[in-house]
Amino acid sequence: MLQALLLLLAAPCVQEPAAAAPPAPDPARQAWEKLQQRLAAAQSLDLHARMELSDSAIPPEEMQEVKMEIQLQLARPGHGKAVWTSVFGSGEDAETIVIEWIGTGDKVYAVDHEEKWVMAEGAEWKDSEVGFFLPFLGPTWCSGGLEPREFSVLPPPAEHPDWQGLKITGAAPPEEGAEEGAAEESFEMRLWLAPDGALRRAATSLGGTAEMLFEIDLMALSDKPDLEKYRTVIPEGYAVLADPEEEHGEEEFSLEGSLLPVGAQAPEAVLIGLDGAEFGLSSLKGKTVLLNFWFFH
């Protein structure tokens, strides 16, 4: 259930802003690009946010309540810690799920405290799933790609007349494995920035009627962080699981996996006739050759 919900709501991160300059000054686009520049330049990112989920297509009484707390203490390339605490439902039925990552400097790991293991997700925070729900953190802190297309200015919230609001719409690339020609998903992000440029509120939705609203209590960026503050080590006694992509653990076994791919240049090979004469495979260039590998014994 959690996985399904997470996948449904997951919004990939935002691509680098397009290089082409807009024809006229656009305050919403400028605010977005400035935020992205600050995030890209920062060597550390501290964030505390609370997220609530809503869906305008589901009556409130049928909607499962989901609340998430996100705490990031990240420094480049892969130092620090990230914790997401999700509470599904309320009262006695409430279920709490904690997802945690640690970064030991050169590697970022997902942590499972119940089973006592860590699993490498990559060398940098952007290689991990930490920023999966946080497309506003941009491509240098989270991976994936959303393509911002249109920018517009939003009025400030009534309780914070000094905040700057902007709306960004764009497209999300089709999911991996999606059918060819599948319609791209639209996404919408509404952001509010405090006068000091810090992001204070963000609402994101991907394609449908569900929306994630983040209230950001703290967002601190630093160009010269004290790395001691971010130093994290793998807890004692925890197993270190290999990166599944590095190990090809998910690849299916294939009889032909070791063979050269079709289209590859055939390597030079010294062949020996039964008369003892040696010749190179390349001496047969211009001919179509069937090489049949066999043995008798």
Partner 1 sequence: MFLSVDLGDEKAVIEKYWLEMGFTMKPVMQKGETVSSAFGVQYYPTNYLIGPDGKVLWRAVGWNELALRAALGPAPAPK
Residues of this chain that interact with partner 1 (CB under 8 A) are 255-256, 258-274, 281-282, 284-297
CA distance linking residue 291 with residue 85, whole number of Å: 59
In the complex, minimum distance from the CB of residue 80 to partner 1, in angstroms, rounded to a whole number: 42
For residue 172, what are the CA distances in angstroms to 131, 135, 146, 169, 189?
15, 11, 5, 10, 12
CA distance linking residue 203 with residue 165, whole number of Å: 11
Complex with partner 1: residue 233 or 264, whichever CB lies closer? 264
In the complex, minimum distance from the CB of residue 17 to partner 1, in angstroms, rounded to a whole number: 42
In the complex, minimum distance from the CB of residue 248 to partner 1, in angstroms, rounded to a whole number: 15
Which residues are within 8 A (CB) of 259 and not within 5 positions of it... i.e. 6 or more apart? none
What is the DSSP track for 236-253? TT-EEEPPHHHHTTTSPP
Residue with tokens 């009534």: 158
CA distance linking residue 185 with residue 93, whole number of Å: 33
In the complex, minimum distance from the CB of residue 13 to partner 1, in angstroms, rounded to a whole number: 38
For residue 222, what are the CA distances in angstroms to 13, 74, 77, 266?
21, 10, 13, 53
DSSP classification of residue 40: H
Complex with partner 1: residue 217 or 279, whichever CB lies closer? 279
In the complex, minimum distance from the CB of residue 285 to partner 1, in angstroms, rounded to a whole number: 6
CA distance linking residue 268 with residue 257, whole number of Å: 20
Complex with partner 1: residue 1 or 270, whichever CB lies closer? 270
Complex with partner 1: residue 159 or 294, whichever CB lies closer? 294
In the complex, minimum distance from the CB of residue 266 to partner 1, in angstroms, rounded to a whole number: 5
Complex with partner 1: residue 114 or 268, whichever CB lies closer? 268
Complex with partner 1: residue 60 or 296, whichever CB lies closer? 296
CA distance linking residue 124 with residue 142, whole number of Å: 9
User: Regarding beta strands 117-122 and 185-193, do their DSSP bridges make them parallel or antiparallel, or are they unpaired?
Assistant: unpaired
Complex with partner 1: residue 7 or 284, whichever CB lies closer? 284
In the complex, minimum distance from the CB of residue 251 to partner 1, in angstroms, rounded to a whole number: 15
